[in-house]
């Protein structure tokens, strides 16, 4: 497995988050930006929007209005350009993260979002909206950290971050046993329970963002949205729709054993 990397988010590029600050990685030199969850420095107007009171109907334009408490355990289904996978979320693993993810999925934030950072053997990251205005608004809607109660094992999901208490919308899926991320504060809130084979097929030919690879510049995703990705990174896979599966709409289970998360593919908060 490659050396440890950092999951950073730049304010305009969260790796995995919205503030381009790298967390020291335990072990190796490859600084990994999984915190690409939008590390843009927000303008006053964005701060004003994110701090708006929650009165009125829920709206993606007002992060504070999306404040539902998630069920103790729920499933989220992601229909992507490579197929479908299902995530099972456990609120007791990371309550604040589980609540944020629940609201983002329920109100359609991830619809159309690309898997903009794919580092084979480490992580897959997503969470920047196709509409750059929404990404910029949400880059300021930070939530406090959750204590790490579960490990960053293969198939688990956690929020990317740019530093303490900077989680917003960017999420990464672990493609390996990234236990080194546990001590760095990346708290898993769920796990892929169906379709991990689909996750492994998500296009990763561009690699990490520069300078580690030829992937997208998170800052440009934040300012230009899907137009930038479609023009310069046409092979990226994306999320068609993401939805919460209710008790009356359980995820269809595959044959016995097929829902198990497979070993990590060849060769990481951001990670």
**In the prediction, which pLDDT does 31 show?**
34
Tokens encoding 160: 């990317």
pTM for the full predicted model = 0.77
**In the prediction, which pLDDT does 86 show?**
98
Regions of the chain where pLDDT drops below 50: 1-6, 10-54, 247-251, 253-271
pLDDT digit string (tens) for 94-117? Answer: 999 999 999 999 999 999 999 999
Tokens encoding 98: 């589980």
Confirm if 176 and 200 have CB atoms less than 8 A apart: no
**In the prediction, which pLDDT does 56 show?**
72
**In the prediction, which pLDDT does 53 show?**
44
**In the prediction, which pLDDT does 9 show?**
57
| Superfamily of segment(s) 70-245 | Cyclophilin-like (2.40.100.10)
**In the prediction, which pLDDT does 107 show?**
98
Structural domain spans, the chain: 70-245
In DSSP terms, 84 is beta-bridged to: 79
- The three-state (H, E, C) secondary structure of the chain, written as one string: CCCCCCECECECCEECECEECCCCCCCCCCCCCCECECECCCCHHHHHHHCCCCCCCCECCEHHHCCCCCCCEEEEEEEECCEEEEEEEECCCCHHHHHHHHHHHHCCCCCCCECCEEECCCEEEECCCCCHHHHHHHCCCCECCCCCCCCCCCCEEEECCCCCCCECCCEEEECCCCHHHHHHCCCEEEEEEECHHHHHHCCCCCCCCCCCCCCCCHHHHHHHCHHHHHHHCCCCCEEEEEEEECCCCCCCCCCCCCCCCCCCCCCCCEC
């Amino acid at each position: 497995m490659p050396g440890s990397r950092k999951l950073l988010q730049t304010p305009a590029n969260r790796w995995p988050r919205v503030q381009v600050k790298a967390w020291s990685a335990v072990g190796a030199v490859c600084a990994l930006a999984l915190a690409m969850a939008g590390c843009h420095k927000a303008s006053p107007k964005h701060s004003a929007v994110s701090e708006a009171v929650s009165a009125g109907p829920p709206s993606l334009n007002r992060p504070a209005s999306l404040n539902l408490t998630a069920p103790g355990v729920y499933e989220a289904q992601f229909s992507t350009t490579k197929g479908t996978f299902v995530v099972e979320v456990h609120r007791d693993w990371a309550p604040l993260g589980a609540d944020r993810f629940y609201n983002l999925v329920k109100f359609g934030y991830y619809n159309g979002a690309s898997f903009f950072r794919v580092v084979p053997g480490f992580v897959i990251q997503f969470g920047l909206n196709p509409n750059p205005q929404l990404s910029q608004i949400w880059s300021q809607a930070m939530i406090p950290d959750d204590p790490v109660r579960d490990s960053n094992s293969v198939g688990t999901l956690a929020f990317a971050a740019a530093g303490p208490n900077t989680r917003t919308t960017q999420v990464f899926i672990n493609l390996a046993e990234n236990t080194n991320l546990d001590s760095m504060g990346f708290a898993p809130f769920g796990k892929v329970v169906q379709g991990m084979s689909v996750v492994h097929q998500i296009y990763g030919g561009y690699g990490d963002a520069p300078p580690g690879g030829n992937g997208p510049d998170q800052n440009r995703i934040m300012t230009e949205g899907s137009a930038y990705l479609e023009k310069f990174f046409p092979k990226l896979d994306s999320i068609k729709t993401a939805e919460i599966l209710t008790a009356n709409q359980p995820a269809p289970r595959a044959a016995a054993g097929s829902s198990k998360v497979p070993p990590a593919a060849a060769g990481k908060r951001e990670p």
